[in-house]
Structure 1
Amino acid sequence: MNPVLLGLIAGVLGLAVGVSGVLAYVSSRRQRQELAANDDPAIPNGAAEVLAAIGRAYIVVDAVDGVVRASPGAYALGLVRGHTLVPPELLAMTSRVRRDGVIEERQLELQRGPLGQGSTILQVRVATVGEEYILILADDHTEIARTEEVRNDFVANVSHELKTPVGAISLLSEALDDAAGDEEAVRRFAARMSKESARLTSLVQDIIELSRLQSTDMVDRAREVDLNQLVAEAVEANRLPAENRKTTVVVGGSVDGAVYGDAKMLTTAFRNLIDNAIRYSPEGSRVGIGLRSRDGMAQVSVTDQGPGINPEDQERIFERFYRIDSARSRHTGGTGLGLSIVKHVVSNHGGEVNLWSQPGQGSTFTVRLPEMESAEPSAEKQQQSDAAGARARKATPPAGGGTREQGVSA
């Protein structure tokens, strides 16, 4: 055969093979694109944009509960792992909705994480979308549920705490009426009634104070305040309780910069801290108050010589109505709200309150608040501070080696 003809035939065959390969590649690519398009959830147009804008975690699952779409929030809440819907409660809900075609909405409490440390409260709504898909919407209500629980506990505790002194006053009034002819018994019952009445008054005042703190806008009432003066006023307010328990209140140091805040709220917080230290210190002991400025923060520490606090109780000491020893609290007259008020006030001022305590070694509560300025005091302020210290030393005789004392009773 003619070599030229053979070459021509071979060229035609090669061209045919090449064209066939290109056509096969184009056909394969088109099939892959069609398969990929078929894998996308057949949800109505615009639904994806709406889901992204509603601000709730969402999940779209197919006919076998495989996850085909999920928001980042769904992964963050631990509802989805890979392409799997994790919580069995959600799987049960999707199964019912798929079977009945009826929208279902429930509140679920789910374990947080695979180890079950803590829980998450979710408001979940499950509905069909398109022809074969199920949509799950989840809203995190954990904080809402926690707040509601705290509110309910607070109401229950208030009711219990109010019932105790009110019941005592009622019984004592009956006993007082029955003992009208016994002068000694009348005096004894009257003294008990006076004590219970004072306890009731203190509890009501603390409840009102806590309610006022929660509803007060600190920004409207905040001013430049001098913590040295506020602490001195808090010490003076506790002078009588300190004298009754023969407790010496010792104040040392000073704060250089001013603090931006509500003077009345801060004075209440320091008064409660000092009152707490006096109540739980043995009679005839000493309560120390230290003031200092460090790294732009004003620091006030209140140290007592009380029995100390166990580590397991220290985490709860700032909870409302929490008492380490209820019998001792009744004896000292504490309401269980003082430290809660302290923490609330300090938090409102952008500060923090910390506790150091060991059983048998007393406790130290330290309040740290941001100062308005961290510069050293001017010469004029330093002279005023020295003059104030001299007046305090002159007004109150030094004790314990010349340490300055206020609210003193020895």
Structure 2
Amino acid sequence: MNSTPSGGVQPGSGAGVATTVSTLITMESALLVPLALLVGAFLGGGAVAIIIAAARRGHRAAQVATATVPDGVDQVIDALESAAVVLDASNTVIKTSPGAHALGLVWHRTLVHARLTELVDRVRRYGEPVTEDLELTRGPLGDAQLRLSVRVAPLGTRYMLLIADDRTEAHRLEAVRRDFVANISHELKTPIGAVGLLAEALEHASDDPDQVRRFADRMKTESARLAAMTQEIIELSRLQAADALADPTEVDVDAVISAAIDKNRVAAEAAGIQIVSGGAKKARVMGDEGMLVTAVHNLVANAIQYSAKPSRVGIGVSMTDDIVEIAVTDQGVGIPEEELDRVFERFFRIDQARSRATGGTGLGLSIVKHVVQNHGGDVRVWSQAGYGSTFTIRLPRAVGSARASTPKQKVRS
């Protein structure tokens, strides 16, 4: 019988197999642990990368959803007097200045006018700033026309900036200037042409003393009218200058009324018109006495011109709430209601025939309006056709002027 060493294990016995299996398992485990760690690290890094990418996409989505303009642009737009609009890539308005809403360019975060959208799209397509003058309506429902100078330019890579300057008033003033020049040309042609024709007629009638006197009188009338118109045009131009009232002084309203009455006394007596005045005493305003005399004189002359013979022209002065009012009332033909808004226009005449017969230029009331505006006041008119008119100049009372007012009384005629 064969024997083995004491304590040994036969190669084919169960104990040897178990030992071998255990050893193999131990070796396999030693290999699997690092492999598992490697796989876990790989899988974990991918998960982190996926999470970071998702976060970035979410951040970009949030930026699009809550778009903001670049740093500093907000403050610049808020400081602009012009209308300014910032739009994103989808032409959604994300920032506006107050002027943009005042001009009616934006409505519900969109541009109101298709023409503006077309400009923005053109700049976005070609990348070059564009400036255009446009005539647009104010707001989506309004019919008032605006003249705007519009500039569109890229703002960074994502946004567009639109700036609009309102040129409506400048265009209106230019139109007024053109009309004024045209009116002057037309109005001056009449007396100049008349003087030329009368001179020619005078030459042919040199042997007839009566004709010479008649033509000479008409020439004097036309030349006087031409001189008056020229003087009023010069006066109106001076009143429209920026420094028309650069050095105001305290003016006694009573002195202004007296001077205006004296300048119209002869014309009133010739027309059979009685001038009466009364009201507050010692009223004072800040301004230019010569300009105010001209304004009141023009109102009184206008009242005499349109009054029937015999009648009265009244001048009343009152003070209420630190306002001095000078009212000139006549009993003349009155002004039709549809023409009340036009009486202060240059060269406007209610009765063309009467104005030409009396030498009226159509500039008197326009001068009144500019004088009063230069003094920080306003002028109002009430009239009823067939019953007369009242023109009222309202001026701020000079500080320290008497506040009390006295009943109107006749002081001069």
Please state which band the TM-score falls in when normalised by the shorter chain.
0.7 to 0.9
Residues 247 and 284 of structure 1 are in contact (CA less than 8 Å); yes or no, is this contact kept in structure 2?
Answer: yes
Instruction: Give the superposition deviation at 1:353.
Output: 1.3
- Distance change >3 Å, CA 81–CA 220, structure 1 → 2: closer
Tell me which residue corresponds to 1:105. 131
Tell me which residue corresponds to 2:120. 94
Out of 54, 63, 68, the position equivalent to 2:94 is 68
- The amino acid of 2:341's aligned partner reads E
- The amino acid of 1:290's aligned partner reads G
Secondary structure at the counterpart of residue 110 of structure 1 = strand
- The amino acid of 1:108's aligned partner reads L
Mapping 1:183-222, distance limit 5 Å: 183-215=209-241, 217=243, 220-222=246-248
Mapping 1:109-188, distance limit 5 Å: 109-188=135-214
Residues 218 and 262 of structure 1 are in contact (CA less than 8 Å); yes or no, is this contact kept in structure 2?
Answer: no
Residues 299 and 368 of structure 1 are in contact (CA less than 8 Å); yes or no, is this contact kept in structure 2?
Answer: yes
Instruction: Give the superposition deviation at 1:133.
Output: 3.6
Residues 319 and 403 of structure 2 are in contact (CA less than 8 Å); yes or no, is this contact kept in structure 1?
Answer: no
- Distance change >3 Å, CA 346–CA 111, structure 1 → 2: same
Q: Which moved more, 1:324-333 or 1:345-354?
A: 324-333
- The amino acid of 2:137's aligned partner reads Q
Tell me which residue corresponds to 2:369. 343
* 2:346 pairs with 1:320: yes
Secondary structure at the counterpart of residue 107 of structure 1 = strand
- The amino acid of 1:231's aligned partner reads I
Tell me which residue corresponds to 1:230. 256
Tell me which residue corresponds to 1:370. 396
Alignment deviations for residues 221-242 of structure 1 (CA, whole Å, 9 cap, x no partner):
3222211121011101111111
| Cα distance between partner residues in 2 of 1:255 and 1:147 | 40
- The amino acid of 1:271's aligned partner reads H
Mapping 1:376-391, distance limit 5 Å: none
- The amino acid of 1:243's aligned partner reads E
| Cα distance between partner residues in 1 of 2:376 and 2:238 | 18
Alignment deviations for residues 299-352 of structure 1 (CA, whole Å, 9 cap, x no partner):
211111111111221111112222223232212211111111111111222222
Alignment deviations for residues 256-294 of structure 1 (CA, whole Å, 9 cap, x no partner):
432222111111111111011011111322211112222
Instruction: Give the superposition deviation at 1:61.
Output: 2.7
* 2:314 pairs with 1:296: no
Residues 256 and 293 of structure 1 are in contact (CA less than 8 Å); yes or no, is this contact kept in structure 2?
Answer: no
| Cα distance between partner residues in 2 of 1:403 and 1:50 | 63
Mapping 1:248-267, distance limit 5 Å: 248-267=274-293
Mapping 1:45-56, distance limit 5 Å: 46-56=72-82
| Cα distance between partner residues in 2 of 1:240 and 1:326 | 23
Identity of aligned residues (%): 51
- The amino acid of 2:385's aligned partner reads P
Tell me which residue corresponds to 2:16. none
Residues 79 and 86 of structure 1 are in contact (CA less than 8 Å); yes or no, is this contact kept in structure 2?
Answer: yes
| Cα distance between partner residues in 1 of 2:153 and 2:286 | 52
- The amino acid of 2:377's aligned partner reads G
- Distance change >3 Å, CA 175–CA 219, structure 1 → 2: closer
Residues 112 and 140 of structure 2 are in contact (CA less than 8 Å); yes or no, is this contact kept in structure 1?
Answer: no
Alignment deviations for residues 63-107 of structure 1 (CA, whole Å, 9 cap, x no partner):
443323332321221111112111122122223333444332111
Secondary structure at the counterpart of residue 166 of structure 1 = helix
Alignment deviations for residues 29-66 of structure 1 (CA, whole Å, 9 cap, x no partner):
87654322244669766555544444422223344433
Name the count of aligned residue pairs: 363
- The amino acid of 1:68's aligned partner reads I
CA RMSD of aligned residues (A): 3.0
Secondary structure at the counterpart of residue 320 of structure 1 = coil
Instruction: Give the superposition deviation at 1:255.
Output: 3.1
Q: Which moved more, 1:269-278 or 1:247-256?
A: 247-256
Tell me which residue corresponds to 1:356. 382
- Distance change >3 Å, CA 252–CA 38, structure 1 → 2: closer
Residues 218 and 261 of structure 1 are in contact (CA less than 8 Å); yes or no, is this contact kept in structure 2?
Answer: no
Instruction: Give the superposition deviation at 1:114.
Output: 3.4
Secondary structure at the counterpart of residue 176 of structure 1 = helix
Secondary structure at the counterpart of residue 342 of structure 2 = coil
Tell me which residue corresponds to 2:42. none
Tell me which residue corresponds to 1:280. 306
- The amino acid of 2:389's aligned partner reads S
| Cα distance between partner residues in 2 of 1:359 and 1:262 | 34
Q: Which moved more, 1:333-342 or 1:37-46?
A: 37-46
Secondary structure at the counterpart of residue 158 of structure 1 = helix
- The amino acid of 1:230's aligned partner reads V
Secondary structure at the counterpart of residue 125 of structure 1 = strand
- The amino acid of 2:184's aligned partner reads V
Mapping 1:69-84, distance limit 5 Å: 69-84=95-110
| Cα distance between partner residues in 1 of 2:323 and 2:78 | 43
- The amino acid of 2:339's aligned partner reads D
Q: Which moved more, 1:49-58 or 1:234-243?
A: 49-58
